[in-house]
Amino acid sequence: MIHAIFFDLDHTLCDTGGADRQAYADTIALVEAERPDIDAQRLLQTFRDLLSTEPFDPTGGDTVEWRSELFARALQQQNVKAPELAARLSPYFHRQRIENFDYFPGTVPLLATLRETHKLVVITNGTSEIQRPKLVKCNVNAHVDHILVSGETPWCKPDPGIFHHACELAQCAAAEAIHVGDSLETDICGGINAALAATVWIAPDRTAAPDPRPDFTVASVLALPEILQQVQ
């Protein structure tokens, strides 16, 4: 019997990709308006490349400030030294991102229905500076029973410790919980490592997965009720 459902936040419950696209577009518009001498499209692509390999300060410093450093590096690749602009771009991007951050359509009614019969826990990787504003913007506390942000715990997905802690909060055994997420490396591998009853991979553009192989692959979290009928 499944008593608890664990969810990833980004790209699973919430349209992080849509919020990012709008924030990048807004940031490009800001740069183009203030500094037409800078190739804004190239700047943002360079920033994204740096972000993909160094998303967080290796010394544990503030994430938004760290990403200002990444903007400064991206500017330097165009031989532009503009520390004041770099310092403004990261906070601006994050403000625009949060402004546009929201659930995928249909998610809130789904959570309300699932919560009638299951304990719901959000397990999200990241620092408090990045994840908490998203959680507040979507009032996630009102829709689930517990929230775990990896930066506030000793664990990070795919470490089974964070899933086992979620089980403690939900007062269930690992075999009585499933995890839903979009990342094979963190969500699916983590759920498998924790010996949960099942893992559900959110993959809109795929119908099959390589290893680690999830128990279910769906295009949207809205397919979850059908899956629960198979694992209850």
In tens digits, the chain (232 residues) has pLDDT values of 999 999 999 999 999 999 999 999 999 999 999 999 999 999 999 999 999 999 888 998 899 999 999 999 999 999 999 999 999 999 999 999 999 999 999 999 999 999 999 999 999 999 999 999 999 999 999 999 999 999 999 999 999 999 999 999 999 999 999 999 999 999 999 999 999 999 999 998 876 657 788 999 999 999 999 999 998 7
Q: Could you say which of 3.40.30.10, 3.40.50.1000, 3.30.365.10, 3.30.70.260 is the CATH number of the domain covering 4-15+103-231?
A: 3.40.50.1000
User: Is 1.20.120.710 the CATH classification of the domain at 17-99?
Assistant: yes
What are the start and end residues of each CATH 3.40.50.1000 domain in the chain? 4-15+103-231
Length of the chain: 232
The answer to whether 85 and 34 have CB atoms below 8 angstroms apart is yes
What are the start and end residues of each CATH 1.20.120.710 domain in the chain? 17-99
